[in-house]
Structure 1
């Protein structure tokens, strides 16, 4: 299977000079000119600049919010891609109380979230994936996997040719633009973790409602990230999710879909909006991704059958917090939105489902960076006390 690997979380598309000037209100050359850079650390000047920029941005957003609320939100139900039931709704305090007592605090909602940490050296890359599942009745379990990657020995008679082959192989891994061996690292960090979160939600949990992170039909799963095995497993697992466990709600934490989130800022606390199904999302993947023949058939069948049954919406739990996108089965979207809002109002300053954060904290306490790196350093010290291959520095962000 061939295709393009989705960018890592920190990889952004680069735009032209005009886009830079429109975004930052100055030419790129002015930013690069060291004469415009401040010397030292003048806290008063920095704070004045922050206050001016933040204040101006907030005033503009308030004006935009007023227009969207009055003019655009009422038209959602008649939009060109509107799903059945599209529009804006409000969850009453009585409904929130019923969800708290009957579902959340009764342990009838379980949330799943995960983390991955990696350690890279010349001889060996190690990736640890941890998944936590929790409810308000306690932890439902933690799950982990560890992947060890080293180059397969190259069978050549000439030692010089073998050394040259290793150098070339490792150099290829250093270029993310090449869809080569380094795609395995991306698969480990993102594809397998994303798959495992959803598989645990489907196969290991028992609660009436399930809560997950991100888009249930994640890009790396519907494409397989370029791996036929991941695509096959993902399609089968997501089919089970839709057929056996349609009472789910997924909430991403990243600020993707900024245009949609701008609509969300026009919502008041306790409101949610139903927008559209995932049909366009699925069609875009099928059009852009380069599948092989078998993979294209698998993905097309799934997208055509199930993308129309999952809707994307917006909710806002608190006027003190930003809105969030959510995904739910079209038959259960109103209860799903109420569950997401009810869990999010427990921390109104964040407005994000607390179950997902608790699941992530559970993962970090068991499988976090510090413990992971400590064990690796100890193992390297036992294997090679000079630590000549141990890379103890974190990459610069």
Structure 2
């Protein structure tokens, strides 16, 4: 399994041709590019491409529904209870009345914002926990990375070392994000979301975002301390909490999502446990000897207990991947679906979006950068170390 933190992989020319219908050389031929912006022509091309793609997907959907969905029960990685099910309106209404609107379900979501200059790097991590009874709390941490120390016994030597250190880090850091920044914004945030969900909430059911056994946690992102803390925390989540459901809105597992598009409103499918996912991590990540032993023990024990599936809250919304404990999977997906049908055009748990909006309100970029700029202005009116210009993406 490729490291999702490493965005340096490039596809070959053949992949480019297969994906875009023209060679890379043709794309690079500036003579074939349009002059100016012809809105009518762009709209025509967009409509042709979108319409054609949708018609092909409809044909594929029909074939998948007829031929492949029935095979889920007997697939090579099919867990106990694999197959397609339907959640009735009465079942989802019972979840609304007995759990969601009584505040017996809470969701956790987080965000990270960063500021980076030569003088200082600041990362702010914010996590929000919410239920329909109100906010359960917000949690935050701020990390300050500074390279220059005040103990300069040999200023000339240390100045050279700082220059070399910064240059090496810049060359190794794709898109201006080195491993320490990625650890802070991905690994620690992902850990904190799950730790708060498992250890700080009081509700019977909890909703999280993404895969509960996130790649950056099962690998430790290269940091042994994060690996040890993550495996212990995730073991607690699976052993003691159990009543959780995680939902992702990303285009991950596109093959499974293709299966999901063949589901009708209210249907859900139980696909497989995370055993093969865990094994791919063990085969692909370079652990040290002790870390490999710990990760292997964790994967063997806990990955078979977590099930991955799909649900479709509405025919007007895309399917969603979900993850739940095998002992509670049917009720878990009803929790997710009941929260998702509150906005049938989205088909995604509204509590997760409420948590995300709470994070944006409390820990948003504008407020964060405003505080940073104020601190720089107080320390140095010239603002020579403050780079306020946004990089192009």
Q: TM-score, normalised by structure 2?
A: 0.96
Q: Return the offset for 1:196.
A: 0.3
Aligned residue for 1:16? 12
1:106 is matched with which residue: 78, 92, 102? 102
Matched, 1:392 2:388: yes
Matched, 1:64 2:63: no
1:269 is matched with which residue: 265, 271, 281? 265
Matched, 1:260 2:256: yes
Task: Find the aligned partners of 1:350 and 1:242 in 2 and give their Cα distance.
Answer: 28
Q: Return the offset for 1:303.
A: 0.7
In structure 2, the CA distance between the partners of 1:322 and 1:230, relative to structure 1 (3 Å rule), is: same
2:171 is paired with a residue whose SS is coil
2:294 is matched with which residue: 286, 293, 298? 298
1:376 is matched with which residue: 364, 372, 376? 372
1:174 is paired with a residue whose SS is helix
Q: CA RMSD in A?
A: 1.6
2:382 is paired with a residue whose SS is coil
Task: Find the aligned partners of 1:228 and 1:215 in 2 and give their Cα distance.
Answer: 21
For structure 2, which runs of at least 5 residues remain unmatched after alignment? none
Aligned residue for 1:7? 5
Q: Return the offset for 1:152.
A: 5.2
Aligned residue for 1:342? 338
For structure 1, which runs of at least 5 residues remain unmatched after alignment? none
Aligned residue for 1:49? 45
Task: Find the aligned partners of 1:387 and 1:290 in 2 and give their Cα distance.
Answer: 43
Give the paired residue count.
Answer: 390
Task: Find the aligned partners of 1:325 and 1:395 in 2 and give their Cα distance.
Answer: 33
Aligned residue for 2:183? 187
Task: Find the aligned partners of 1:217 and 1:396 in 2 and give their Cα distance.
Answer: 33
1:212 is matched with which residue: 205, 208, 213? 208
Kept in 2, the 8 Å contact 1:154–1:162? The answer is no
Matched, 1:27 2:23: yes
Matched, 1:289 2:316: no
What pairs up with 1:116-155 in 2 under 5 angstroms? 116-151=112-147, 153=149
Task: Find the aligned partners of 1:13 and 1:207 in 2 and give their Cα distance.
Answer: 42
Q: Return the offset for 1:154.
A: 9.3
Aligned residue for 1:317? 313
CA displacement 1:336-358 (0-9 Å, x = unmatched): 11111111010011111100000
Matched, 1:201 2:197: yes
CA displacement 1:239-286 (0-9 Å, x = unmatched): 111121100000112111111111110111111000000000111111
Kept in 1, the 8 Å contact 2:106–2:129? The answer is yes
Kept in 2, the 8 Å contact 1:202–1:241? The answer is yes
1:339 is paired with a residue whose SS is helix
Aligned residue for 2:93? 97
Task: Find the aligned partners of 1:394 and 1:69 in 2 and give their Cα distance.
Answer: 47
Aligned residue for 1:307? 303
Task: Find the aligned partners of 1:338 and 1:5 in 2 and give their Cα distance.
Answer: 32
Q: Return the offset for 1:175.
A: 3.0
What pairs up with 1:157-196 in 2 under 5 angstroms? 158-176=154-172, 182-196=178-192
Q: Return the offset for 1:395.
A: 2.4
Q: Return the offset for 1:37.
A: 1.3
